Amino acid sequence: MELYVFDKTRILSGIVESFEYFRWTRRYSRCGSFELKAVATDENLALLKIGNILWKSDDEEAGLIEFVELTMHEQEFIVASGRFATGFLSRRIVWETQTLSGDLGIAVGQLITANLINPSDPARIIDGITYTPAVLGAAVNTQISYKNLMDAVTDLCDAADVGIKTVFNTSTGTFTIIPYLGGDSHAVFSKEYENIIDQVFTHSVDDFASFALVGGEGEGSDRTIVPVGCGEGENRYETFVDARDLQSADFPGTYTDALKFRGQQRLSEMAMVQAFDATINQHGNLAYKIDFDIGSNIQAISKRWGVILNARITEIEESYDRVGMSLGVTFGKPILTLGERLNRTGWGN
């Protein structure tokens, strides 16, 4: 594995020869991130600058350097971190109201094209980025206005269990945004099979909802109300979704479907948390990127805890230091951070 650095014009500048540690976190429906700590040599100071691009030779994606910190304690170090190139989307908002209807792969392309690839204002174009459309079998029926573009895209992908990645072509310096569906895997992870070193299982109904009442246009008894979800008795967790921004005039004949979609999206965000976080034994019976990868549907088992979890791999953190590489994997839906919760409820805007 080599770490190459490209400048803002996407021309190769050099290679990071050595480092103290390097974390490369891949995510399925969300934007990945990285952090690199190295000795502050003249070469590293010249390479690790805001706006430059870090590319790992055994990966499709690349990282945008968004943060640099210099420290000195007996020795000078530089820390560079940022997000994967899907982070380009975070530099744009959904400029006006976009009505989305049809397959998610086409709807995401509509958002990205209208706000980054080919917007009406040429000043909003980011050159060298394309989108590869895909029919994913996930229906979209909604409106989005003035939301951060990356949040809009990844929220749609997350709700539909769809992946998103931005592939870097090092020869041309171009990026291609691709939505995709993770594949099925026969991989089974378990301490009993000695392919897991450490594991944490989380099961939570905190912030969980199974039934939503969606309120559309109108006032009082004239307001359009649509129920979405299921459950009864103590297993029914209710929430209200204010969808007053959706107007029937924008969805002729499909207004109820649009309200249902908004409710289903909210219930997806408030789904029950069941997740395994595990450190993988790389000398076990399963090989990374061969038997399993980001987005793979796998099975995680703990006989001691009585847990069998069929889940998707939603995050993989590759960590490198002087000892070597370690691999941390998240199976299933993790608990949201406080910032993510605030953002989804609108308090983080």
Same domain membership, residue 323 and residue 194: yes
| DSSP-derived secondary structure letter, 288 | B
- DSSP labels, 246-275: --GGGSTTTHHHHHHHHHHHHHHHTPPEEE
| pLDDT value for 64 | 98
Task: Grade residue 27 by pLDDT with cuts at 50, 70 and 90.
Answer: very high
Task: Grade residue 348 by pLDDT with cuts at 50, 70 and 90.
Answer: very low
Asked if residue 347 belongs to a domain, the reply is no
Q: Which residues contact 23 (CB under 8 A, 6 or more apart)?
A: 34, 35, 36, 317, 318, 319, 320
Alpha-carbon gap, residue 280 to 328, rounded angstroms:
6
pLDDT tens digit string along 270-322? 998 888 899 999 999 999 999 999 999 999 999 888 889 999 999 999 999 98
| pLDDT value for 335 | 58
Instruction: Give the pLDDT mean for 173-195.
Output: 95
Task: Grade residue 349 by pLDDT with cuts at 50, 70 and 90.
Answer: very low
Parent domain of 70 = 3-84
Asked if residue 283 belongs to a domain, the reply is yes
Same domain membership, residue 307 and residue 196: yes
Domain count, the chain: 4
Same domain membership, residue 44 and residue 151: no
Whether 192 shows a pLDDT value over 80: the answer reads yes
Same domain membership, residue 174 and residue 255: no
How far does Cα 34 stand from its chain's mean position?
13
Same domain membership, residue 315 and residue 191: yes
% of the chain with per-residue pLDDT over 70:
95
Same domain membership, residue 123 and residue 171: yes
| pLDDT value for 347 | 41
pLDDT tens digit string along 85-108? 999 999 999 999 999 999 999 999
Asked if residue 199 belongs to a domain, the reply is yes
Same domain membership, residue 152 and residue 121: yes
Same domain membership, residue 311 and residue 191: yes
Final residue of a structural domain among 84, 106, 140: 84
Same domain membership, residue 317 and residue 201: yes
Same domain membership, residue 28 and residue 109: no
Kind and range of the H or E element at 34?
strand 33-39
| pLDDT value for 207 | 87
Asked if residue 287 belongs to a domain, the reply is yes
225-229 β-sheet, strand order: 225-229, 211-215, 238-242
pLDDT tens digit string along 37-56? 999 999 999 999 999 999 99
| pLDDT value for 339 | 53
Same domain membership, residue 282 and residue 258: no
Task: Grade residue 74 by pLDDT with cuts at 50, 70 and 90.
Answer: confident
| pLDDT value for 325 | 94
Residue with the two structure tokens 């995709």: 180
pLDDT tens digit string along 314-343? 999 999 998 899 999 999 976 555 455 445
